[in-house]
Amino acid sequence: MDIEDVYLAIESIMCSFLFDAIAPCEAELYKTYLYIDELEKRVYADTSYGEYLKRRCAEHGIYKKEATHAIRKGYSHQANGVGYKLK
Protein backbone atom coordinates (compact mmCIF):
# COMPACT_ATOMS: atom_id res chain seq x y z
CA MET A 1 0.00 0.00 0.00
CA ASP A 2 1.42 3.37 -1.05
CA ILE A 3 1.25 6.54 0.97
CA GLU A 4 -1.09 7.92 -1.72
CA ASP A 5 -3.60 5.15 -1.03
CA VAL A 6 -3.56 5.90 2.70
CA TYR A 7 -3.91 9.63 1.97
CA LEU A 8 -6.93 9.03 -0.30
CA ALA A 9 -8.54 6.70 2.24
CA ILE A 10 -8.24 9.24 5.03
CA GLU A 11 -8.99 12.47 3.17
CA SER A 12 -11.76 11.33 0.83
CA ILE A 13 -14.25 11.12 3.67
CA MET A 14 -17.06 13.62 3.21
CA CYS A 15 -17.05 16.57 5.59
CA SER A 16 -13.33 16.26 6.26
CA PHE A 17 -11.43 19.54 6.12
CA LEU A 18 -9.46 18.66 3.01
CA PHE A 19 -12.51 17.24 1.19
CA ASP A 20 -14.52 20.40 1.91
CA ALA A 21 -11.63 22.60 0.80
CA ILE A 22 -10.97 20.78 -2.48
CA ALA A 23 -14.52 19.86 -3.60
CA PRO A 24 -15.42 23.28 -5.12
CA CYS A 25 -12.13 23.39 -7.02
CA GLU A 26 -12.71 19.87 -8.26
CA ALA A 27 -16.14 20.81 -9.60
CA GLU A 28 -14.71 23.81 -11.46
CA LEU A 29 -11.89 21.72 -12.90
CA TYR A 30 -14.44 19.16 -14.10
CA LYS A 31 -16.40 21.91 -15.91
CA THR A 32 -13.18 23.22 -17.41
CA TYR A 33 -12.22 19.79 -18.74
CA LEU A 34 -15.69 19.40 -20.30
CA TYR A 35 -15.29 22.82 -21.95
CA ILE A 36 -11.82 21.90 -23.27
CA ASP A 37 -13.18 18.63 -24.65
CA GLU A 38 -15.93 20.51 -26.52
CA LEU A 39 -13.40 23.01 -27.88
CA GLU A 40 -11.24 20.16 -29.13
CA LYS A 41 -14.23 18.78 -31.07
CA ARG A 42 -14.76 22.18 -32.70
CA VAL A 43 -11.11 22.67 -33.70
CA TYR A 44 -10.76 19.68 -36.02
CA ALA A 45 -12.67 19.63 -39.29
CA ASP A 46 -13.72 15.97 -39.01
CA THR A 47 -15.53 16.53 -35.69
CA SER A 48 -16.59 20.15 -36.17
CA TYR A 49 -20.13 21.25 -36.98
CA GLY A 50 -22.23 24.25 -37.97
CA GLU A 51 -20.62 27.67 -37.86
CA TYR A 52 -17.36 26.21 -36.56
CA LEU A 53 -17.02 23.91 -39.57
CA LYS A 54 -17.77 26.83 -41.88
CA ARG A 55 -15.00 28.91 -40.26
CA ARG A 56 -12.55 26.01 -40.35
CA CYS A 57 -13.16 25.48 -44.07
CA ALA A 58 -12.87 29.21 -44.77
CA GLU A 59 -9.33 29.10 -43.36
CA HIS A 60 -8.42 26.87 -46.32
CA GLY A 61 -10.41 28.81 -48.91
CA ILE A 62 -13.36 26.42 -49.03
CA TYR A 63 -16.77 28.08 -48.97
CA LYS A 64 -20.23 26.57 -48.91
CA LYS A 65 -22.51 27.22 -51.88
CA GLU A 66 -25.79 28.94 -51.15
CA ALA A 67 -28.94 26.85 -51.42
CA THR A 68 -30.94 26.99 -54.65
CA HIS A 69 -34.44 25.95 -55.62
CA ALA A 70 -34.82 22.46 -57.01
CA ILE A 71 -35.86 21.98 -60.62
CA ARG A 72 -38.08 19.01 -61.27
CA LYS A 73 -38.83 17.67 -64.74
CA GLY A 74 -40.93 14.70 -65.62
CA TYR A 75 -42.48 13.11 -68.68
CA SER A 76 -45.55 10.94 -68.76
CA HIS A 77 -46.89 8.91 -71.67
CA GLN A 78 -50.36 7.55 -72.00
CA ALA A 79 -51.06 4.17 -73.53
CA ASN A 80 -51.89 5.80 -76.88
CA GLY A 81 -48.45 7.51 -77.10
CA VAL A 82 -49.56 11.03 -76.19
CA GLY A 83 -47.26 12.56 -73.57
CA TYR A 84 -47.34 15.61 -71.41
CA LYS A 85 -44.60 17.59 -69.70
CA LEU A 86 -44.60 18.35 -66.02
CA LYS A 87 -42.68 21.26 -64.55
pTM more than 0.75 = no
Identify the three-state secondary structure at position 53. helix
Q: What is the separation of C-alpha 79 from the centre of its chain, rounded to a whole number of angstroms?
A: 54
Does 83 have pLDDT greater than 70? no
Residue 58: predicted pLDDT: 92
Residue 36 pLDDT grade (very low, low, confident, very high; cuts 50, 70, 90): very high
Contact (CB, 8 A) for 4 and 11: no
